[in-house]
Amino acid sequence: MRLEGKKALVTGAGSIGMGRATALAFAREGADVAIHYHSRPEVAEELRREIEDAGTGRRACCLGADLSTAAACRDLVDEARERLGGLDILVTAAATIVRKPILDFTDEEWDRLMDLNLRGTFACITQAARHMKNDGTKGRIIVYGSVVQQAAKPLQVGYGVSKAGAAHLARGLAVEVAAHGITVNIIAPGPILTDFNRDTLADPKIAAERAKDIPMGRIGRVEDVVEAALYFASPAAAYTTGVTIFCDGGFVLP
């Protein structure tokens, strides 16, 4: 197992997207996992049971928090470290999106995006890095970005700005903590089929239309992205930091 005995916090794991898939994959590879959720404790609890009933001997706990405030982010990281008995890995998968033309954005919508996607990422990853540095843990910090942090797309400008900011933050932190053996990397998924969008992309016509923009000709699978997270979290990536992996089938290339 690539993550045997490691202790990981995954924000946004108590949802039905990439956070959940990442937490499951980490547990299967031997990690104990703190499952963060915002508003759906029942989804987080279902994931906790799935992890603990899998027979791998891994532990999981559910932690609720609104990550749009920095104080709540720091408290979450502190609690996860305490509950798990340490913190080796942090994955930030919690995010929100507002799909509309940038000229139609309200101040409140802009603030909501930046508070969670940028400020929340800042508070979580810096607090985790402090603990890893002070504990002497050569930890792994993984930030979920998006292809729109690089490729400007209609109706996603605000989201792209928040993700681009988070990616730059991650690269800067990578430089500052590298001497302590802590790595910070970014995963930028393209269109990925998850439980969150399965009802839409299950329609062959919609899926085919979306796939036209992808050189590999298909919508991505959760497994395509999770493997990147497992790599960044594993000993194999000990000398890899400040890197962005675009899991997008070539979406950003044309």
Q: How far apart are CA 5 and CA 123, in angstroms?
A: 26
In sequence order, the 6+-apart residues with CB closer than 8 A to the CB of 39 are none
**What's residue 195's pLDDT?**
73
In this structure, is residue 213 part of a structural domain? yes
**What's residue 210's pLDDT?**
85
Q: Count up the domains in the chain and report the number.
A: 1
In this structure, is residue 253 part of a structural domain? no
**What's residue 52's pLDDT?**
92
**What's residue 63's pLDDT?**
98
In this structure, is residue 167 part of a structural domain? yes
Active-site annotation, residues: 159
What digits encode the pLDDT tens for the residues 204-243?
888 888 899 899 999 999 999 999 999 999 999 999 999 9
Q: How far apart are CA 47 and CA 49, in angstroms?
A: 5
In terms of phi and psi (left: phi > 0; alpha: psi -120 to 50; beta: otherwise), the region of 86 is: left
Range of the domain at 151: 7-247
Give the residue ranges of the chain where pLDDT is below 50: none
**What's residue 92's pLDDT?**
99
Q: Over the range 15-40, which residues count as b (16 or more CB within 10 Å of their CB) and which as e?
A: bebbbbbbbbbbbbbebbbbbbbbee
pTM for the full model? 0.95
- CATH number at 229 reads 3.40.50.720
Judged on CB neighbours under 10 Å (0-12, 13-18, 19+), 82 is: exposed
In this structure, is residue 2 part of a structural domain? no
**What's residue 16's pLDDT?**
79
Is 185:244 a contact under the CB 8 Å cutoff? yes
**Phi, psi at residue 98, to the nearest 5°?**
-120, 115
In terms of phi and psi (left: phi > 0; alpha: psi -120 to 50; beta: otherwise), the region of 100 is: beta
Closest CA to 18 of 93, 82, 78, 88: 93
In this structure, is residue 254 part of a structural domain? no
In this structure, is residue 252 part of a structural domain? no
In this structure, is residue 17 part of a structural domain? yes
**Phi, psi at residue 11, to the nearest 5°?**
-75, 145
**What's residue 55's pLDDT?**
73
